[in-house]
Structure 1
Amino acid sequence: MRYLRLILICGIFLSIGLTQSNAQIFPKIIKRNSNTTPVVPQERKNIELRGFDQESYLRTLSTVTDSMIFENNVNLGKVRSIIAEDQNVMIWAPTNRLVKVSEQIQIDSIWVTAYEYFSAWDSKKIDIYDFDIKSFQDSVKIRLYDPFFGYNWSMPLDQTPITSPFGYRWRRWHYGTDLDLNTGDPVYSTFDGIVRVRSYDRYGYGYYLVIRHKNGLETLYGHLSKYLVEVGQEVKAGELIAKGGNTGRSTGSHLHYELRYRGQPFDPENVYDFKEYRILNQEFLLTSDTFSHVAQARARAYHRVKSGDTLGSIARRYGVSVSTLTKLNGITSRSILRIGQNLRVR
């Protein structure tokens, strides 16, 4: 009987977990004090959460970049490079690393054609923009230079005496300003930009360069003797780009300097004081009056035939083709010209 009781007691101890290996752990229960005041998280002050307002952003940005024209449908995710000539984009704000430009460009190790990357690109022609002067009735404020954004200006030569101004001369329009120099004198880029054209015109500019600038303008440098830059090369204002000369249709060593907006030339003396060797203002306002000479140039014009004149020489003088002359005057390329005869050239 004694042994039976001992066995029963041992069984009871084992069932309630006498050893640590069979012990059961129960969660600790904490009774909540009903008198405790619940903690309410405090609202953070002076924080305003707003969605991105693209129109407001563009208005603010356009006050800084007055030389650009913005549209309501600008896609901020597809901003072109600093040297895109399209005036509907923020050309001074680069989003890609441009490695090289020629007929092809490399952007972030991807090769594409230059025409695909820029809204317009041609390294052979001067005017590629198809800009209609008649429809241009707005005013465009061009920010010529801005040290805050890192682009500046320069005069094209060390000295800038004018030998022939912009305007009508020798029965034709002269679309630039001629500046005196000696062959071999340095020629400088007048603004930051990229070389778009490097070519030769036997009956006109001779060896010449066209540079597309960050401010939306282009400059042309004619009658050069030597190139010092390549197509697609980025240049800074004041950087040496060529040496002056007397090539092409020229009667003496000089630089033919042009300013162009979307392919259309205008008087450089609207921007520079060549006699005082300075730029007139940081900004320039383009209006329809800036291109009033284009309407005059496109008016009818006639040439009085002189001894030795041919259709070819007359065509080269007025910058038209022989076929244009024959159509305007109802003649053929084999027609005999009479001295004193009036030929319509435009």
Structure 2
Amino acid sequence: MYKIKAPVTFLLFMLCLLGCTGGAAAQGKVKDLFKVKTPKIQYVRPDTTILIKYEDFPDEGSDADESVFFNPKKELSIVSEDTSELDLGEQHIVEMSEEVLVDSSWIKIAGYYAIWDTQNLNPYKMDGRQLQDTVDIKLYDLASNRTYDMPLEKTPITSHFGSRGGRWHYGTDIDLNTGDSIVAAFDGVVRINKWDGGGYGNYIVVRHYNGLETLYGHMSKAIAEPGNFVKAGELIGYGGSTGRSSGPHLHYEVRYQGNPIDPENIYDFPQYLLKGESFQITSALFTYYNKAKSGSSGGRRAAYHKIRKGDTLSGISKKYGVPVKQLTKLNGMSSRSTLRIGKSIRIR
């Protein structure tokens, strides 16, 4: 390609091109002069040594129950070379190359391998307990215009990460009113927008530049679509109580390669800010898996709540995330039944 040094030279070049090669051919070449180079996506052979299939909770088919545990390996077939299939819900392993235009030259700023899956919450199947090294995550970088925001304007916590009602709760529940705006916590690309009737309801998963993924569950409406780039603070959906939910709230998760991290390790919710600019991920963050898995193996377990003064069905329902209708069914009672102090009520 000729190197154009001045506007006059450029004009002469164009006239010569049109006169010498003919109209149709010339138009094609002129168009190429202004072609914008897009980031590269090259398919590679999957590393099947780390891909393992799901283990479901008995009697539960929701994404929330399928997303954590690790079982025998399952190979993937060689990925297709058709890049148009990226957003069709199929799993691919792709080589990503991020480039920026500097002084008319494309400069590679990042290259990495990644699994892109628009249907499965945890396609990575990496057991966090097996991490050998400390992973340093830069949560935000103002110099690179990578900012952060809280998912809601107010963040009063209604339920914490950990064991709850005989099962493990992999996120933090934040109170809201139906219709409240929910925004992306960090810059990134939407990977999943899906309905999960037995768990998250309407939910979105965003993959971020800092290496984390965040999940936003129980929304009344999820508006960001897979493949959408979103900035921190950009609207992605509206609050609600869809799926397995006892009332309007946001179920918020932070994950690293599919492994849930207690959001309160990263956030100071009462103060409405992050605890720091960076965060370190080690295998110690995931030792809770031992408790979580032992509580889920061997079938469903009955769990009970001992009634105390001031308890109500709605209060117990909210505390354990179990609908009032389910409580009444489990205990052979009606929603107007009297709760007797000292007695136990089955919650699972």
Provide the TM-score with structure 2 as the length reference: 0.55
**What CA distance in whole angstroms lies between the structure 1 residues aligned with 2:177 and 2:183?**
14
Counterpart position of 2:69: none
Counterpart position of 1:139: 134
Q: What is the CA distance between 1:167 and its match in structure 2?
A: 0.7
Aligned partner of 2:200 among 205, 215, 224: 205
Counterpart position of 2:265: 270
**What CA distance in whole angstroms lies between the structure 2 residues aligned with 1:304 and 1:195?**
36
**What CA distance in whole angstroms lies between the structure 1 residues aligned with 2:172 and 2:135?**
23
Cα deviation 1:146-186 (Å, max 9, x = unaligned): 01112110000010000001111101100000000000000
Q: What is the CA distance between 1:228 and its match in structure 2?
A: 1.9
Name the aligned partner's letter for residue 267 of structure 2: Y
Cα deviation 1:72-102 (Å, max 9, x = unaligned): xxxxxxx978xxxxxxxxxxxxxxxxxxx97
**What CA distance in whole angstroms lies between the structure 2 residues aligned with 1:102 and 1:151?**
28
User: Which secondary structure state, in structure 1, belongs to the residue aligned with residue 279 of structure 2?
Assistant: strand
Q: What is the CA distance between 1:128 and its match in structure 2?
A: 0.7
Counterpart position of 2:146: 151
Whether 1:104 aligns to 2:86 is yes
Counterpart position of 1:232: 227
Counterpart position of 1:259: 254
Contact 2:127 2:259 in 1 (8 A): no
Counterpart position of 2:117: 122
Provide the TM-score with structure 1 as the length reference: 0.56
Q: What is the CA distance between 1:300 and its match in structure 2?
A: 5.4
Contact 2:205 2:213 in 1 (8 A): yes
Name the aligned partner's letter for residue 217 of structure 2: G
User: Which secondary structure state, in structure 1, belongs to the residue aligned with residue 290 of structure 2?
Assistant: helix
Alpha-carbon distance change, 305 to 165 in structure 1, aligned in 2, over 3 angstroms: closer
Aligned partner of 1:169 among 158, 164, 172: 164
Counterpart position of 1:183: 178
Contact 1:103 1:123 in 2 (8 A): no
User: What is the aligned residue count?
Assistant: 208
Q: Report percent identity of matched pairs.
A: 49
User: Which secondary structure state, in structure 2, belongs to the residue aligned with residue 298 of structure 1?
Assistant: helix
**What CA distance in whole angstroms lies between the structure 2 residues aligned with 1:265 and 1:276?**
22
Q: What is the CA distance between 1:134 and its match in structure 2?
A: 3.5
**What CA distance in whole angstroms lies between the structure 2 residues aligned with 1:304 and 1:182?**
33
The 5 Å alignment of 1:1-346 reads: 103-104=85-86, 115-117=93-95, 119-299=114-294, 301=296, 303-304=300-301
Contact 2:184 2:235 in 1 (8 A): yes
Name the aligned partner's letter for residue 104 of structure 1: L
User: Which secondary structure state, in structure 2, belongs to the residue aligned with residue 211 of structure 1?
Assistant: strand
Contact 1:102 1:231 in 2 (8 A): no
User: Which secondary structure state, in structure 2, belongs to the residue aligned with residue 299 of structure 1?
Assistant: helix
- What 5-or-longer segments of structure 1 have no aligned partner? 1-78, 82-100, 106-112, 307-316, 318-346
Name the aligned partner's letter for residue 274 of structure 1: F
